[in-house]
Structure 1
């Protein structure tokens, strides 16, 4: 009798489990990724990894997860603060054990529309970026296998991966894809500048209008379009990082003419991302404008914008103040509150 009851219990248990398995219906809707007016086309890899409801939720959790680092103290968010346009206030990135990185932390905004990532453009596909800080000695100093092992111990993560991908397997590719999905949603396009351009019931002040005019004349050649960057690589004569590992774009291409060329940064939310330059050479924008106006370092591949103007961009004090006033209109307050 006991044997029979035992068999019946096992059958009921198996059937119960089967029913629970059948009850799980994977439903992970794609989130709309609207292109703001005037913005360039999406990066070509976005189409293969469109943001989804649970993919983004998982990505945001991973973005803030300290278990991605070797000693469980550093997350992506440790260097990318929302209030600073997902940058930080350090001259150079600071990672595990307070190790100092090679370069200034770049903001994370409008990534879906960028064609190159990082100062030297060594990454073309955002899904390939998360591994870099995970394994870098000065950043998280871990390995993706170690990260997977830690996450696999948590039932909450298994549930999230199941919601995002249909089953609870935790893989490197799924980690990268979900973080990228989250970052694709970080779109900044509602600054005062945007509101003025849309014709909302708002207008530039007199000094902001003056700054816009000066900017278009003397800055927009590089900081063009809705992203305020032409996404090119240029040597503009900034003070050079003394770290022997630094060579700018030449680290990627191996071409001598690319020495100390860096990706032109977007100026959106620029007021929140000090210090400035590839390794934080300038504590504030006024110091940077003074340097450009006084004269930059010469170099064989110095950008023609400077070569043709005696290695400088002529700016009066009044023009500098006007440019600063205009740049303040690029602050997207709602984005900074994410």
Structure 2
């Protein structure tokens, strides 16, 4: 009888401990502190609803560099978004699996935490909705989220990391999207020579750079405003037209004729490392872009008013072009691009 009672007591204690262990299982996953750099706007709302965490960012970075996201395991996000190019590449148009050529130039991935919209045409308003696009697009990874999840579920390291990042939820599509966005929120570029000068942190412009900064304020800042060096608006600036019949610029999103060939104003940060330039890489160099503006852009009905008011051009002397390029080179953040 005593043995039976002892057994019952031990069973009860074991059951209680097992139940308690199950209930108390949790994962310590501290939030990472992101700071708004000097002069920058506040973070977009998604940063606050999907706050970067230790394991969320680690998972997102791992996924960002993993070729398992493509159907034939040949390319990753990092194949096109290369750090030394400010997470862009040097191709006129993005290149996906099997050498498939996309519609547009690969945009850099920097300061996403401050952007209101994403992509050339602003078709993505929440960064967490972006990762699925390259995964399923024929000209990029040509996979599916279910296929990707199936691959990840075969990897114990991923299972552990997803559990740590999302408190034991396991591998989910939502976890993929959120973690990649968290990683991209940490890609903040704000320590260029320009920033050091503006913050009075020891840097000084050369005479040519200072003159270029003045030219920039006179002739460029209307569109490339704020410390992001973009006002995030959509404009038709009369660049050569993409011959691909699929292209319509912002009109692909809105369906409005007035948005035909309007594109989001790109940031100029790290611009010296993101050639070629334009929505489909129309220009190989910054000098070619400035020459085009100086010589006169396409005369189109919805041309941006700033250009219309100046006879479809931004007049620049050869000296001003040299000065502008010198200034734009001060926007390179060697720490960010890993050089």
TM-score, with structure 2 as normaliser: 0.94
Equivalence for 2:215: 214
Measured in 1, the distance between the counterparts of 2:276 and 2:129 equals 27
Q: Give the match's secondary structure for 2:195.
A: helix
Aligned to 2:166: 165
By how many angstroms is 1:292 displaced? Answer: 0.5
Q: In the alignment, which residue of structure 2 is the partner of 1:4? A: none
- Matched residue SS, 2:279: coil
Counterpart residue number, 1:38:
39
Shift of 1:116: 0.7
1:205-233 alpha-carbon deviations (Å, 9 max, x no partner):
00000000000000000000100000000
Alpha-carbon distance in structure 2 between the residues aligned to 1:57 and 1:20: 27
**Alpha-carbon distance, 1:16 to partner:** 9.7
Q: Distance in 1 between matches of 2:304 and 2:337?
A: 33
SS at match of 1:45: helix
Q: Which residue of 2 aligns with 1:306?
A: 307
For 2:42 and 2:77, the matched residues in 1 are separated by 26
- The whole-number CA distance in structure 1 between the counterparts of 2:299 and 2:14 is 77
Mapped to 2, the partners of 1:61 and 1:315 lie a distance apart of: 45
> Hey, what does 2:273 align to over in structure 1?
272
Counterpart of 2:27 in structure 1 is 26
What is aligned with 1:335? 336
Match of 2:4 in 1: none
CA contact (8 A) 2:71 2:141 kept: yes
Structure 2 distance, partners of 1:96, 1:53, is 31
Cα displacement (A) at 1:25: 3.5
Q: 1:169-227: CA deviations, max 9, x gaps?
A: 21111100000000000000000000000011221000000000000000000000100
Question: How many angstroms does 1:33 deviate by?
Answer: 1.2
1:14 is displaced (CA, Å) by: 9.0
Cα shift at 1:101:
0.3
User: In the aligned structure 1, how far is the partner of 2:24 from the partner of 2:73?
Assistant: 36
Corresponding residue for 1:105?
106
Q: Does 1:202 align with 2:199?
A: no
**Structure 2 Cα separation of the partners of residues 308 and 233 of structure 1:** 18
Residue 78 of structure 1 aligns to a residue in which SS?
helix
1:14-34 CA-to-partner distances (Å, cap 9, x unmatched) read: 999878757854110000111
Cα separation, 2, equivalents of 1:14 and 1:108 = 51
Distance 2:118 2:247 in 1: 17
* d(CA) in 1 for partners of 2:263, 2:16: 61
Mean alpha-carbon deviation: is it higher for 239-248 or for 159-168? 159-168
Q: Match for residue 3 of structure 1?
A: none
Per-residue deviation, 1:75: 0.5
Which whole-Å CA distance do the structure 2 matches of 1:68 and 1:16 have between them?
Answer: 41
Q: Over aligned residues, Cα RMSD in angstroms?
A: 2.0
Q: Which 10-residue stretch deviates more, 25-34 or 206-215?
A: 25-34
Matched residue, 1:57: 58
Match of 1:262 in 2: 263
Distance 1:276 1:309 in 2: 23
In structure 1, list runs of 5 or more residues that go unmatched: 1-6
Match of 1:66 in 2: 67
Deviation at 1:337, TM superposition (A): 1.2
Q: Which runs of 5+ in 2 are unaligned?
A: 1-6
Distance (Å, rounded) in 1 between the aligned partners of 2:16 and 2:67: 40
Contact 2:26 2:168 in 1 (8 A): no
Distance 1:110 1:13 in 2: 52
Corresponding residue for 1:231?
A: 232
Mapped pair 1:181 → 2:214: no
Q: Is the 8 Å Cα contact of residues 272 and 332 (structure 2) preserved in structure 1?
A: yes
TM-score (norm 1): 0.94
Matched, 1:287 2:325: no
